[in-house]
Structure 1
Amino acid sequence: MADVRDAGTPDDEVELAIEGALRPTSLAEFVGQQKVRGQLQLLLDAARIQQRSPDHILLSGPPGLGKTTLAMIVAHESGRPLRLSSGPAIQHAGDLAALLSSLTPGEVLFIDEIHRMARSAEEMLYLAMEDFRIDIMVGKGAGATSIPLDLAPFTLVGATTRAGLLPNPLRDRFGFTAHLEYYEPEELERVVSRSASMLDVGLPGTARSEIARRSRGTPRIANRLLRRVRDYLVVNGPSTGTDEGHADVRTVGAALDLYDVDAIGLDRLDRAVLDALVRRFRGGPVGLSTLAVAVGEEPETIESVVEPYLVRIGFMGRTPRGRVATPEAYDHLGAPHPDGMLRFSRGS
C-alpha cells in the first residue's frame, strides 16, 4: 500500500513531513497507554527537578503502538537531542563503541529492536549503561590491552517486540520498563480524529469508528488506513456523492475493501492463512512450517505478523500438536463446523 509516485519529488517530501507531523510531540498529545504515560511523566518530571538525565527506559510491545514516538517525546520533553539507531545495525562491539563515544552530554539514544543487537555489543552496553564507560581492546593475542573510555552521560531508550529475548543483565540495567498494550476502539477513534484533522479529511463519527474497527488495535495501522481513505477520496470523492476531502462510512468501507482490509481488519494474508487452516487442513492441528508452505510465506512471517492477531481475536489456537481453527474462524469464513469443533473453541 505504498505510494507509487517517484521518490524525491516535492509531493514525496510533503508526505514525509505529514508522517512526521502525525506523531504527537508531548505526553499530553499522546493517545492511549494511560498508565505508561503517567509513569513516564513522573520519571521525566523527577529528572527535570533534579537536573539530571532520565533513567534508561525499556519499551516493549507489539509493533505500531508508539514505542518510537514515546522515545521522541522523552527527548523533546527533556530538552535533549535524540539519536536513532536499531539493533540490526549494531552487529559488532565496534559499531556500538563508535555510536556511544559520539554522544553529547544528556543525549537520548534510541535503539529499536534492541534484542537483535550482537551479543558482543550487548555485553559492552552493560558497562556503558551502568558506569558510562566502555573498554576498548587494542591489539591481539597476548599483547592485547584494554583501554577504558569515559562516555558522556546519556539516556538509553530501548524498544523491543520480543522482551523475552533480552538477557537478564541487560534488562536489569533499565531504570524503567513498560509494556505497551493494544488500543481500544475508542482510543483509536481519537487517534483517527486527530490525524484526520491534520490531513484535512472530514470524517463523521461512524466513519472514524469504521477505520478504528479495522485497525487491529494499532495506531500505526489506523493512520495508514486513514491515508488510504484520503487517497481514495482524491481519486473517487466526487463519484461517491461526498464532497472532496470528506468521507462517509460507505466511502471508508469501499476504500478499505479495495485494499483487502475486511470488516474486522483481516487482510489478504490473514484470510489466506485462515482459509488454508479451515478448508485445506480441516481446522488443524497443523504445524507452522506446513501452514506457511500452504500460503507461500515464510514461517517467521506467519508467526510474527499473522498469528498474534488471529490468536488475540480468538480465530486461531496454539496447541502442542500445532495450530487449530476456532468456531469463530469458521463463522467468519462462512464454513460449516466439523464434528468435534467444540474442542477447539476459545477458552477450552
Structure 2
Amino acid sequence: MLTGQVTDREHDRARADAEALLTAAYPGDSGEPRFWPAWQVLLPHALAIDPARLTTRRGREAVGDACWYLMDRGQARPARERLQRLYDTCLQQLGPDHDDTLRAAHRLACAYADTQDHERARALDEATLGHRRRLYGENHPDTLASARSLAVGLWELGRYEEALVLDEKTLEVQRRVLGLEHPGTLATAAGLAVELEAVGRVGEALVLGEETLEVQRRVLGVEHPDTLFTASNLAVWLEAVGRVGEALVLGEETLEARRRVLGVEHPDTLFTASNLAVWLEAVGRVGEALVLGEETLEARRRVLGVEHPDTLGAVGLLEWLKRQQAEGEAS
C-alpha cells in the first residue's frame, strides 16, 4: 500500500497528469461512430478519474463525452452516477450560469430520462433552458438543444400537447437559424415525427420521417445512429398505413445496421428487433418471428432487467407470437 507514502501534493500532481493525458487523448465527439473505436480504448481511463477532481474545461468535456458514450451503449446508470458528481461539482465551484455547469446539467437530464426518472429530467431541463435563454438567447444552438430535451421530458410525463408545441417551435427556429441539414435540426424533426404519429397524425409523421431520413442518409451517412433512429421509426409508420412489405424491408435493413453499429444488445437494436418480429408474423414468417421474439426477450431481461417496461412488452409479444403459431398449426 502506497497511500501513506504519497503526499497530498503528489496526489494532486498525479490527478493533474491524468487529466492532461485524458484531454490529450480525446478522440472527438463521442456521438460520432467514427470515433467509437478510440473511445472504447479511452473509456476505462476516463471513468477512472473522479469527476469532482477535474480542474479544466477540456477535462470536464472529455469525461462528459465518456458518459455520453456510455449512454449510447445503453449503460445509462453508471453514466448517471458520474454525471451527477460532475454536475454537483460544477454547480458548487463554477455556479449555475457557467457553460460547463449547463453542459453537465443537459447531459445529466438525459441520463435521468434514460433511467426512467422523467420528472427529475424535466425539472433539470426546464431550469437549464431558462438559464440558456437568459444567457445566450432563444436562437442559440445550446438553447435549442435544451428545448428539444425538455420536449422529450414533457412527452414522457404525458404532457403531449406542450411537447408537440415546443418541438414544432424549436424545429421552426432551427431550420431558420441552423439550416435544414444541421444535425440538431434533423434530430428535432425525427423526434417531432414520432410525436405526430403518436397523436394520430400518421400522414404528417410519414412525410416528415421520409424527408428527414433522406437528408440524414446524405448528410450523416446511412449507418449514423440518428439515421437509424429515423429509419426504425419510419418502418413502424409504413406498417401503420398498410405498407407492410416496405416496412419489413426497411426493418430488416435497419436491424442489420443497428446490430453492426450499436451491437446486438443495445436497447435501440432490440426495439427494431421487436417490431420486426411483428412484421415477420404479418407476412406469414411466424417461425422466424418467434425466434427473433425469444432472442429479444432474453436480451432485454439481461440488459434492462425483468421489470423494465420494454422487457414486459417483449414478454407479451412472445406470448402473442406463440398463440399465432399454435393457431396456424391447428388450422
Q: TM-score, normalised by structure 1?
A: 0.31
Higher strand share: 1
TM-score (structure 2 length as normaliser) = 0.32
Answer with 1 or 2: which has the greater Rg.
1
Asked which structure has the greater RCO (Cα within 8 Å, sep 6+), the reply is 1
